Chains A and B, each alone.
Chain A
């Protein structure tokens, strides 16, 4: 292959190195060199195992080799040449290690260093004074650089920026922060070219635009470089002999089959969707692990040292299987994985393809995957996902306009670094593609917010965080303010966590990991739960740590972490709807699932892809309405909230609702079958009803809190002066209420609104769904529950029922007798 390319692309030292390994440079790697020589930004899309990382770094190594050749003295002055940014700390470390192989084998004298949150203060200072040739770091570290003096001098010599897993960063707030950081760097180092790396890109044009600095009024795009596609993965769906459950996510019925597949593999990764599922699956596997296969557990709540141990054992090939969550989704090369098991539905085709890429890091042999649905609906979803993989159809999060809370953080950060001119900063920010359409008025509002809070009642002028100096440049008012800002940089607002410490007799003990504070708040001493693969007994809280002992209980109370519940992707949802409506495509489904759908067709109707099926039926003195939008739990919950409000106003006396990924069930005390369903599901519910609900929604308050932390209105916890999360939650709820009352158009409320459109409330998706089903509602009045309704009806009692608010808890526990007894009411 290399001899067909112009020889100038690959210098002989590099060609020799490829040859010595018995390799040839791949065409996409050469095209990356060509793009770099042409001074272009480039987006490299290549499957896992396709030499993507090397493709990103080759142009850097070639340029650096020339520098070294020009000045071979060991004490040559180093200048920062390439900045590598990845979403994961671990990925930086891994890439640094992998990069060292070609560098040392080619005899290049290069300094390659990482800088993450864990890097020591002294090493950071040394890196500032004497930058390495290649620095591998994270978006947060880049934001910190921007917020310190001398950033300009530090980046002046930069030539290349490599952004790994760019599809995973770009659609998030981290992507907004990174895009703003890149815009700043480009001002300091106008010649620095950008390269993005990814295996799964759904919106290639969007990402190519994201990667490149925009100019006013015209969209600019990075060159798209494609690697040859790898062998198509082989995906099987588990069809167990046992009964497939109607609902739930335990996957217990499939464990024996999964265990057999693990046994037959070299090394398996068992992906699950939530941390509680990880705990449960791990436990179930060990219950039947008669051969004592080395099976480990890996998820984001485990202590880092615990996770590192598992990763090292994997790399050394000492494990047979690892049960893991999305923590192992991204591109670290863990060795000889030859089987990927997905327990439960994959939720999106890009996610599944990304996970499949974890097996078989060789291009030419297909990766093997086993999908193990945990209930009947998931069989449909897995089937749809398999078809999507076969068609290599990708979904993934859409790119959005840049978030205003992130913009506020960046502006403050710039004020903490070198003083800025407001006009020039506006122009610079608009070169970042998420902010290319930002208007001056909004920018000025965010700037004012950053400086004074931006309130109409302008009372905070003398307390400003940013001041405009006499020379017209903006800067932080005091060094203390700048220092506090630096401690709050970043866009990841974790829900507050507490350490879990296990001890045998109350003293000493070691740290197992971290658990959400809200979960701990629900525990009473003696309660048991599953964590880190063990059943633990809660003893109490001491000094911000959860004290636990090991328990012999067999029926633990399982933590229901709210982290990691991905909603069903819009793309996959559409495929599932298509699959359900058309019996001719059911031959791939297990007979149990086919029979179930057949029965639905006889007893009720099949949901049509373009419409919405609504069923009503009575059941034990209540009246139910079940509908099937297939839009994911979050959007369904929002719909349930709005429908119950509406039904309340119509005096239909709704009592509650429950949602799963596919359906929503609402019930009440009056027969709902005579309603005008077109009116009930009309889009106008997204107006006043939504507004009224958001005023008191806990999810909205959480959304607001995240924005307030990112924007710097309130501070996140710093180590050493921990506030408990409760205090933070309390005060942000109060702040939200007060702000909403007096300044409903405040820029921070706008930011929270924008988040609610996609995040926890998925309002945007619900709006799209309501307009899709307009005039397409099919109502069936039944005398009893339909087969398709069973799964969502089984969720009642397991999932919190949202109709019951706080007031009902109070009503339950309050006792009127109390007053009579204790206080002698007249």
Chain B
């Protein structure tokens, strides 16, 4: 599946011996098993605000689905893992527009295998879209779960923390979503259209990596690898 992909746009590296690719739109690919991993889709986050009186544009699910379909088209995986918090809350499926629900169904059922990992926002992902549900799964020498383990966890691929990194240069700065890794384990960026980010310099990452992890920062057309020491906190 990798030969269809423009390699310069992709960051290739190993996590705990397994070769992976970080895509600039925020999905992870494990070529040897034809696997695409995506995390924190947060479907229907927009409509959850409407419940509280803030009428955010109800199109976040649609945008997220479009980008996900494009990523799947780009990488042609056999298997997709949605790494938890796919649905913003337990009623998200009830608020989802019929058209979006149909799009999601079609996407799930086109794949050989689709795995919903349970997340804290969606402890029981709704069954009507198809796919399997589990709390974690092992593939290609890696273990996939939603919440990263505190302390060493070689081979773990997780989401939950929404990593992003900030870098500064000549008095100006940029802050984007990123993959966080130290070579033994990895945390995926959040993929959902309305998801914010947590700086990799935050303590939450230190508890997992024993320090600030390196960041694979998502640029416009490619992923930029940035060493931990070049990442700065949002504020001192």
Contact = CB atoms under 8 A, between A and B. Distances in A.
A810 B174 contact: yes
Interface of B: 11-15, 19, 46-47, 50-51, 53-60, 62-63, 95, 97, 167-169, 171-174, 176, 181-183, 193-197, 214, 217, 219-220, 224-227, 230, 232, 234-236
Interface in A420-468: 449, 452-455, 457, 459-460, 463, 465
- Lowest 3 A-B CB distances belong to which pairs? A453-B55, A814-B224, A742-B59
Contact of A731 (B12, B47, B171, B194): B194
A481 B52 CA distance: 9
A809 interface: yes
Most buried by A among B13, B176, B230: B13
A818 B62 contact: no
A825 interface: yes
The range of chain A's interface size is 35 or more
Most buried by A among B15, B53, B171, B217: B53
A523 interface: yes
Nearest to B62: A742
Given A453-B55, A522-B173, A741-B63, 13 more contacts: A454-B55, A455-B58, A459-B97, A522-B171, A715-B54, A727-B196, A731-B194, A738-B60, A738-B194, A739-B57, A813-B226, A815-B225, A818-B227
A574 B211 CA distance: 59
Contact of B55 (A460, A812, A813): A460
A11 interface: no
7 contacts: A463-B55, A737-B193, A738-B57, A813-B169, A813-B224, A819-B13, A822-B183
A810 B195 CA distance: 21
A62 interface: no
Interface string A804-826: 00110111111110110011111
A521 interface: yes
Contacts of A816: 225
B224 A742 contact: no
B150 to A, nearest CB: 21
A742 B50 contact: no
A730 interface: yes
Given A455-B58, A525-B236, A815 B227 contact: yes
Interface in A739-753: 739, 741-743, 746
Query: SS class of chain A's interface: helix, strand, loop or mixed?
Result: helix
B196 to A, nearest CB: 5
A461 to B, nearest CB: 10
A517 to B, nearest CB: 9
A465 B169 contact: no
A816 B172 CA distance: 22
Contacts of B235: 520-521, 540-541
A715 B194 CA distance: 16
A449 B50 CA distance: 13
Contact of B47 (A460, A734, A737): A460
Nearest to B66: A741
B58 A484 contact: no
A800 to B, nearest CB: 6
Nearest to A797: B170
Nearest to A541: B235
Given A809-B174, A826-B19, A453 B57 contact: yes
A735 B169 CA distance: 28
Contacts of A737: 63, 193
Contacts of A822: 182-183, 214, 227
Contact of A823 (B13, B46, B47, B172): B13
Contact of A810 (B46, B63, B182, B217): B217
Contacts of A809: 167-169, 172-174
A226 to B, nearest CB: 48
A713 interface: yes
Interface in A466-485: 480-481, 484
Contacts of A726: 234
A393 interface: no
A363 interface: no
A76 to B, nearest CB: 44
A734 B176 CA distance: 12
Given A522-B171, A813-B230, A814-B224, A738 B59 contact: yes
